[in-house]
Every structure is written in C-alpha cells, then in structure tokens.
Structure 1
Amino acid sequence: MSKLTIVANIKAKADKVDLVKAELLKLIEVTRAETGCISYDLHQDNANPAHFMFYENWQSRELWQIHMNNQHLADYVAATEGAVVEFTLNEMTIID
C-alpha cells in the first residue's frame, strides 16, 4: 500500500463563507481520528476567504475511500448544499 495525498479545494459562495467554514471545521477532529488518517489540515486563502483547501495524507487509497463514505461527510454535503460553487479533488502520490 502506498500513501495517498489528497488536495481538496472548496470555494464557497461569497455570502456563505461562514457557513461553509463552520461545516468544514466540524470535519477535522472526527476525520483525524479515522483509521488511516496521517494528517488532515484545513487552510483558508489569505486573499480570497471563500477559498478553502484540505491537505490530507492517508495510509492508503482504500482507507481514504472509507473516509469518503462516512456519515460526517454526507452530513457536510447536506449542510452546505447550494453554498459551494466549486469543489475539486486531486489524488496525489509523493515523489521521493
């Protein structure tokens, strides 16, 4: 199994930044406790506060897939429906 790095970019509607941020913050503690999570760090763009980015490291793609199917992510999606204008996700591998 090779380690998997995820870069997830979330762009909120201008009037929904606080809502999206609050919902993203709820994901951190529960996700960091998941099996396979090495790191799970949320960032907010200094020039554009509507742009958030998660930088994540997982022990394997399989364990990340389990995370993606967890209830807390489904709850986040439901809570932010209509508040996110763009979401991109990149699965990446470190080059040693």
Structure 2
Amino acid sequence: MASSEWLTQKQNKEKEEKERKKKEERKKERKKEQKRQRKERERKKEKERKEKKKERKKARKKKEKRKSDKREGRESERRERESERCERRELEKREKR
C-alpha cells in the first residue's frame, strides 16, 4: 500500500509542477502581450504628436502667409497711391506751364 500512496503522491506532485509551470508560462505570455500593447500605444501617441506638430506648423505657415499677403497688399496699395499722386503732380505741373 505504501508504494501506491507514494506513487499517487509522486503523480500529484508532478501534476502540481506541470500546473505551476503552465501558470508561469501564461504569466510570462500575459506580461509579453502587455509590453507589446504598451509599446504599440506609445508608438501611436508618438505618431499623433508628430502629426499634431506637423498640423500646427502648417497652420502657422498659413497664418504667416496670410499676414504677409495682407502686408504685401497694403504695401502695393500704398505704392499705387504714391504713383497716382506723382502722376497728378506731374499733370498739375504741365498744366501750369
């Protein structure tokens, strides 16, 4: 009888050891998966950050261009007015003669 008890104890220990190893393996796999997911999230966040930065840069350039165009428009209007004034002065001078 003692040998059969010893055999069942041995089998139980082996079974427990197998289960323990399985459990550890599952734990490792879960940890691996979590790490992979975390890295994936970080990559996604980084990509979004870069995209937002790109969009802000684009918007800033657009705004600067509008400002520049506006300034350019005002300057060209000023030049036009000046040239008109000069032309009028010339005409007035000619008329006086």
Structure in which a larger fraction of residues adopt strand: 1
Structure in which a larger fraction of residues adopt helix: 2
Normalization by structure 1: what TM-score? 0.20
Normalization by structure 2: what TM-score? 0.20
Bigger radius of gyration among the two = 2
